[in-house]
Amino acid sequence: MESLVKIKRRDFLKAGAVISSFFIVPRHVLGGPGYLAPSDKISLGFIGCGRQSGGLRNRFLDTKEAQIVAASDVYRIKQETFVNATNKWYADKAEKGSYKSAVGIEDFRELLNSKDIDAVVIASPDHWHAAMAVRAAEAGKDIYCEKPLSLTVKEGRAMVNATRKHNRVFQTGSMQRSAKEFRQAVELVRSGAIGEVKTVYVNVGGPPKEWDLQEETLPDGLKWDLWMGPNSGRPYNNELAPAMNATFWPKWRNYREFGGGGMTDWGAHMFDIAQWGLDMDSSGPVELVYSEPGKGLVYKYANGIEVVHRPMEGSKQHCHFVGTNGEVWVARGELKTTPESLKDKVFKDGSSNVYASDNHYADFLNAIKTRKPPICDVETGHRTASVCNIGNIAYQLQRSLKWDPAKETFVKDKEADKLLGRDMKKEWKV
């Protein structure tokens, strides 16, 4: 591979020295006996400091097992806000007026070059995921990457390959797998409690749309070329990278160049539960049946089970398993079953083969320590993203498709196969 970064040696050594200086802090500084010193923790670097990153930061800080030492973003105010909030958290814990744990770095490649960072948390827009994750693996970092894992099927496979080649731990941010209602739903389905599964209904939004935004004035402190990264040029628009005081979530996922619409947004959560419940984390469907626009899409699996993408406007995003002897309906914070008594069924230790995690972030940190796969390994995240991405291809082509989940290609369909990847700038190819 080409050099990870073209950085002036003087600047890199300066940044490395700054990061390294924070690891020789006595155990008592941050909270007294029993509190892990930074040198005993897993050191994290955040890549992407937008709206999603704040929640992720807090969840990792809450584990008390990680030390956030660096953050990178191409939008200076967002990077500074993240760093300041992180350092305030540490200062409050230390009961000090200030405490400098994290530093800001504009170019994520500089962050990857620091030997003092054990793992990275990637919270960038989807069009960046593969380029960042592959380079993180090559740099020897363990990886937590937000869902959906990849923008295309080929990029997802490149992420898996890099993770395996460099023996990295990789957690996909499909945190519903660490929520009790979703684990209970999957345990019920896989234990046979609802009989033989026939159909699974998934209620999430539809595919992305074509570009339709007008150019707006670029705000100060935003490096737009770096935000675009692997993509060809599109002009700045506030919907893609909103200001800090914006009241809405960024809308880049609405556009095919940057994301997969509702299919990959909530789909990466709810199709993920369908895949988990059907024990298909290493595979996928064999056929996609397209009907009229807005009528949904049917995924057919080799075992005869059908997963139906059924958008229901005004209804909570959910996954609904229908079996010969009952049903399981699950959404965030809700579990409904037929018969109703099933939702209270207790699975004793050893009676379930479903991976148990009650904290997605602690699970990742534990996997780093044990070097065992976490609950949502890169292959799992890739397979879920693939279900979403090939569904978007069927919607884009407006026709049915046959899929080979082993080869990860469509069956005798060159037109569809061309959409499994995308053009990326040479510097960022994976």
Predicted TM-score (pTM) of this structure: 0.91
Q: Would you say residue 105 lies in a domain?
A: yes
Q: How many Å apart are CA 94 and CA 86, to the nearest integer?
A: 13
Q: Would you say residue 284 lies in a domain?
A: yes
Least Cα distance to 199 among 51, 104, 324 occurs for 324
Domain's final residue, options 122, 157, 175: 175
Q: How many Å apart are CA 237 and CA 388, to the nearest integer?
A: 26
Confidence (pLDDT) at 38: 55
Same domain flag for 181 and 160:
no
Same domain flag for 304 and 181:
yes
Same domain flag for 166 and 310:
no
Q: How many structural domains does the chain have?
A: 2
Q: Would you say residue 314 lies in a domain?
A: yes
Same domain flag for 85 and 193:
no
Confidence (pLDDT) at 99: 87
Residue with tokens 């999430």: 204
Confidence (pLDDT) at 313: 82
Q: How many Å apart are CA 69 and CA 41, to the nearest integer?
A: 11
Same domain flag for 287 and 417:
yes
Q: Would you say residue 114 lies in a domain?
A: yes
Same domain flag for 108 and 192:
no
Q: Would you say residue 228 lies in a domain?
A: no
Confidence (pLDDT) at 27: 34
**Looking at residue 58, which CATH number applies to its domain?**
3.40.50.720
**Looking at residue 292, which CATH number applies to its domain?**
3.30.360.10
Outline where 245-339 has alpha helix (H): 261-265, 267-277
Q: Would you say residue 226 lies in a domain?
A: no
Enclosing domain of residue 142? 9-175
Q: Would you say residue 92 lies in a domain?
A: yes
Same domain flag for 336 and 364:
yes
Confidence (pLDDT) at 9: 38
Same domain flag for 180 and 170:
no
Q: Would you say residue 3 lies in a domain?
A: no
Same domain flag for 294 and 394:
yes
Same domain flag for 156 and 201:
no
Same domain flag for 90 and 23:
yes
Confidence (pLDDT) at 186: 97
Q: How many Å apart are CA 270 and CA 201, to the nearest integer?
A: 9
Q: How many Å apart are CA 214 and CA 220, to the nearest integer?
A: 19
Confidence (pLDDT) at 294: 61
Same domain flag for 421 and 379:
yes
Contact 13, 86 (CB under 8 A): no
Per-residue pLDDT of the chain (430 residues; tens, 9 = 90+): 333 333 333 443 444 444 444 343 333 344 443 344 555 799 999 999 999 999 999 999 999 999 999 999 999 999 999 999 999 999 999 888 888 899 999 999 999 999 999 999 999 999 999 999 999 999 999 999 999 999 999 999 999 999 999 999 999 999 999 999 999 999 999 999 999 999 999 999 999 999 999 999 999 999 999 999 999 889 999 999 998 888 899 999 999 999 999 999 999 999 999 999 999 999 999 999 998 766 789 999 999 999 999 888 888 999 999 999 999 999 999 999 999 999 999 887 666 889 999 999 999 999 999 999 999 999 999 999 999 999 999 999 999 999 999 999 999 999 999 999 999 999 999 9
